[in-house]
Structure 1
Amino acid sequence: MENFLGLLRIRIKRGINLAVRDAISSDPYVVVQMGKQKLKTSVISNSINPEWNEDLTLTVADPTVPITLRVYDKDTFTLDDKMGDAQFDIKALLEAVKMRLESLPNGTIITKVKPSRENCLAEESNITWEDGKVIQNMIFRLRNVEQGELELQLQWIDIPGSKGL
């Protein structure tokens, strides 16, 4: 426990206009990986615009390790088809958390992360103060695929007794 800085809750909200990998649709799921940790969402059948709204939680020991998202199409008799990937880091989120801005009004934008060649953001990402928490909403343009975006939300959770930030 003492080696961890905290937890990162990733809410996989939805996929937008994902690639078709079966006859007319896809059966997508998302794999989130940070270092050796690997988590996955449930499979949404027959949808290129799936709504997951699932929370996956990673333990963070090294905040410089990038997080990789991979979207797959679930197949029954063959290997699952790749439907794109994205990668991001949590540096901006952690900088906002370190500010300890407990007295901000709800909905205050702390900082913004602009899309660049170094990230997969489809649009500007706001880091906001919501209900006593630092939240980052993100929409990623998937790489290595003809189309598709993934919307998610990040939230940092301090662990009592951990090294902390």
Structure 2
Amino acid sequence: LEGEEEEEEEEEEGKMGDLATGVLKVRVVKGRSLAVRDIRSSDPYVVLKLGNQVAKTRVINSNLNPVWDEELTLNISSTTPPSLKVEVFDKDTFSADDEMGNAEIDLQPLAASVRMRKVLKGTPSATQIRKLVPSRENYLAKDSCICYVDGDMIQDLCLRLGNVESGELDMRLKWIDVPAVLDGRK
């Protein structure tokens, strides 16, 4: 019986869990000191992957410090993987696009904060719920705060890109509940 329980727990690992249904709005704000992949510059764009969902920003031509300020939307369900994959590419016309680095965002801290939202009603807006610090286990370039703002959970991030000589990305995650969850229906 113990072995069966362990198997069930392992199956649940790697998924968002029971109360995690909603929409994740990802604002890709800007990049800094991105790697050169063409002669003197790059034509960067960002790709987000969450499970089988893929979303892309537009290409910014000849810029190592691009400002996208673009919002991409991904759906979250109980079977969604707990991490958001972020990849930066250089758009090439006549060959395959070049990789410019990647990162991964653990969505569990944001999901856990969303679960606390009911007890936060009446809390002043812009209340910091949690602070995540850079470590070898994450891609954070500086502290990342999860805040309760006007009823929403928001996380600002500055990511240090991996597998590349340089580059950072500024992003904002915003979790939005779907109405069925708010009404108690699934």
Q: Same fold (TM over 0.5)?
A: yes
Specify the alignment match of 2:92 in structure 1.
75
Equivalent residue for 1:124? 143
Distance (Å, rounded) in 1 between the aligned partners of 2:121 and 2:57: 32
Q: Is the aligned partner of 1:113 residue 2:110? A: no
Give per-residue Cα distances to partners, 1:28-82, cap 9 Å, x unaligned: 0000001111110000111100001111111112354321100000011011010
Q: Residues 112-155 of structure 1: CA distance to partner in whole angstroms, max 9, x if unpaired? A: 01112221111110011223311000011000000000110000
TM-score by length of 2: 0.82
1:6-85 aligned within 5 A: 6-61=22-77, 62-85=79-102
Q: Which amino acid aligns with 2:166?
A: Q
Separation (CA, whole Å) in 2 of partners of 1:104 and 1:20: 45
* TM score, norm. by length of structure 1: 0.92
SS of the residue corresponding to residue 18 of structure 1 reads coil
Identify the range of structure 1 (140-149 vs 57-66) with the bigger mean alpha-carbon deviation.
57-66
Distance 1:164 1:44 in 2: 42
Q: Match of 1:47, SS?
A: coil
Q: Which structure 1 residue ranges, 5 or more long, are not aligned?
A: none
Residue from 97, 102, 106 that aligns with 2:121 = 102
Unaligned runs of 5+ in 2: 1-19
Shift in Å at residue 164 of structure 1? Answer: 8.3
**Structure whose residues are more often helix by fraction:** 2
Aligned residue pairs: how many?
163
Query: Taking every aligned residue pair, what percent have the same amino acid on both sides?
Result: 47
AA in 1 matched with 2:63: S
SS at 1:54's partner residue?
strand
Structure number with greater Rg is: 2
